Chain A
Amino acid sequence: MPRQMAPGVTEGYLKVAPTVVRDGDTATIDATGIYYRQLNEAIRGAIAEGATRVVLNNVNGQRYIGTGVKAKGVTIEVHGTAGNDMAMFMDGPTIEVFGAAQDGVGNTMNAGKVIVHGDAGDVLGYGMRGGAVYVKGDVGYRVGIHMKAYESLIPIMVCGGNARDFFGEYMAGGILVLLGMNTQFAEQPLVGSFVGAGMHGGVIYLRGTVESWQCGKEVGITEATEEDMAALKPTLADYCDAQGMDLAEVLSVPFTKLAPFSHRPYGKMYAPM
């Protein structure tokens, strides 16, 4: 049972509908102390009523912002710290976080865009199938894990800082980029160990270099060619635009490309009986 603190209060949050102020196409919601369920009901409600810009103020770790929301041309602005599983299963909207985000951003996301103007946590973009996630700063463990692509859906994730272990593990498709620029851990390696372990599709670009012992054995490591960089440039330009960064500076350091040797890494492991 959820821990009951006082009537109407669960785990420190108020289980009441927040105040929604509507001004033209914009709905502004004060999230102070509001439980995630009521907050997300209000967000979905505002979108259903035609709001195309939803501004959330005083967000303090509420989960599931934008989760499962299917809509086109809708922007959600998060002021504060977004909680876990933001934009999970999301299909269409743009979320811009003025602050940091916790774990699971863009989990199993289908389409849309997430811009985080701060750091983000672990397991970002797990199983993501489309859309883009742009994080300005550092990211945690297992980022971009099992990203996949399908036909016109190609997920893109760009992280501006450093990343920890298991970056792009099991990756099956999409584009995963790590810049190592806006980091609090400049003295540490750009990325942890087990990069692309089990990778069988997609591509990882690292701004700088990586040692082969840091990478999974399924991964081929090469310097990004001019062609690669030409293909990546629009993505980086879009990222720089969203994060207010200088594209020339981003491109001033050579990139390393990681791609899997095989789409079927375990094809020969089994002996059928």
Chain B
Amino acid sequence: MPTSFIQPEFKVKIDYDKCHKCGRCVQQCGWGVYNFNERPIPDDAKCRACHRCVTYCPAHCISIEKNQLAYRDNDNWSPAARKAVWRQAETGGVLLTSMGNPLPYTRIFDHLVLDACQVTNPSIDPLREPMELRTFIGHKPDSVGVESDGQGGFRLAEGEGMKNNLKLDTPILFSPMSYGSVSLNVHKSLAMAAQRLGTFMNTGEGGLHADLYPYQDNVIVQVASGRFGVNPDYLNRGAAIEIKIGQGAKPGIGGHLPGEKINKEVSGTRMIPQGTDAISPAPHHDIYSIEDLRQLIYALKEASGYKPVGVKIAAVHNVAAIASGIVRAGADYVYLDGFKGGTGAAPQVIRDHIGIPIEIAIAAVDQRLRDEGIRNWASVIAAGSIRSSADVAKAIALGADAVAIGSASLMALGCHLCQSCHTGSCSWGITTQKPELTRRIDPEWGAEQLTNLVHAWSHELQEILGALGVNAVESLRGSRERLRSIGLDEQMNKVLGVKPAGM
């Protein structure tokens, strides 16, 4: 019997004529692809196409190719489907994978286009005119009370106005990624960048490491079903608290950080013993209803001196009604995570087949909250594969207040989307706890990369707003009239609340 039916997915080719025999590839690869015997000898079966060796090879003599094995044509039984069956026949296991859903579902963002001003109302030049990206996340009052200032003008009356909102200099946050799933250096990079950018990083469910305390005013602390690292001190350090109900990559299932990743530091931050699995149950066992959710929201407010409390859910079929319940339960923001969102580890079947696209979730939730007259009670943060400033603008036009980026931020740190985070051996030092790998990210450099990315997107967003002839991102929010669709059917246009191009 063969040990496996599955053949290597990639071929590692080295042009030995150019090779310096320096051994750097051997050193760089987290998966142990290379053996060195006078020259590097690759084992194709171990390659994940993360391109770490390719990037670091001084001779540029490594190429990674697809293993072009011909499979007998069959659209129904794709090579991937065949491999999955073989792997399960070998192991009897639930297939475990990572990063976002790679299947070719319709990418709705790519079927939406933005408007621009021509002739009748002028566009605005953002380089020379003010262009406001400032965004406030939180509850906005139903009305504003003013009183006379005694000099013929008005001022905000005592106790009136917006309270307890998070102030963002740009409508882009970093999405929750736990310390444990990513390395401490990644957490530090995110925290430093959030502080420099005037936005927020999110601890994810693994607690807050003491090295992040200096950045705590730019940190949202998460409370998930495992309650790892959650104590009064943690709740009081964050700028806001987020209840994690679900994640776009794995709606309806819990988290499970394998014992191998629970080293001393991770164990201290999560406050669980080393080497045990960190299991987050699928539900919070104190939340079985919207009433229970309200109870937890207010417990967190009571414990934190009434900080903003948000609720993160995966975008699922009934998302609009659920979001309405969340807002009525007293959440200050609803975080919607679409089905293309990333993960450090998830069963493949869940990642690829459960949940709905973020574009639809934003539109459905925004519309429902407007119809119910409660849109101002909470902000909407959208995530789940925001790939560019165009996606940011489209998400906001569909009705989001801000977006959160996870995969894109890891890409700024070197991630090549090899979908191998669950192995714990990320060659880029991102989703690993191995010290020889985690030290590959210098937080100072990481913060710079992240700051650059968000600055670039923010500038582009300003350009888009200028073209639209508005001078604040506030004016784009929920303005679906500024979107048109191309190649979407009538039903989809209706769901999105968007007209087809030409109308």
Contacts and interface: CB of A to CB of B under 8 A. Distances in A.
A63 B231 contact: no
Contacts of B271: 129, 148, 150, 153
Contacts of A169: 285
A193 interface: no
A266 B230 contact: no
Nearest to A201: B276
Interface of A: 36-37, 40, 63-64, 67-70, 84-85, 88-91, 103-104, 107-108, 110, 123, 126-127, 129, 142, 145-146, 148-151, 153, 169-170, 172-173, 198, 200-201, 263-273
Contact of B93 (A67, A151, A263, A269): A269
Secondary structure type dominating chain B contacts: mixed
Interface residues of B, number: 45
A267 B258 contact: yes
B47 to A, nearest CB: 14
Nearest to B374: A1
B286 A67 contact: no
Interface string B322-356: 00000000000000000000000001100000000
Given A67-B303, A269-B94, A126 B227 contact: yes
Interface stretch (B184-192, B294-302, B357-365): B294-302
B95 A271 contact: yes
A33 B92 CA distance: 59
B227 A200 contact: no
Contact of B298 (A63, A150, A173, A273): A63
B195 interface: no
B295 A85 contact: yes
A265 B277 contact: yes
Given A68-B232, A88-B299, A107-B299, 6 more contacts: A63-B295, A69-B232, A150-B273, A263-B275, A270-B94, A271-B96
Given A68-B303, A146-B226, A146-B227, A273 B285 contact: no
Contacts of A149: 272-273
Nearest to B419: A273
Contacts of B419: 273
Contacts of B273: 149-151, 173, 201, 263
Contacts of B97: 272-273
A85 B272 CA distance: 23
B3 to A, nearest CB: 14
B53 to A, nearest CB: 21
Contacts of A85: 286, 295-296, 299
B104 to A, nearest CB: 18
Top 9 closest pairs, chain A to chain B, by CB: A68-B303, A271-B93, A127-B227, A271-B91, A270-B96, A150-B271, A263-B276, A110-B231, A64-B302
B227 A88 contact: no
Given A88-B299, A88-B303, A108 B230 contact: yes
A104 to B, nearest CB: 6
Most buried by A among B233, B298, B422: B298
Given A123-B285, A263-B276, A272 B423 contact: yes
Contacts of B299: 63-64, 67-68, 85, 88-89, 107
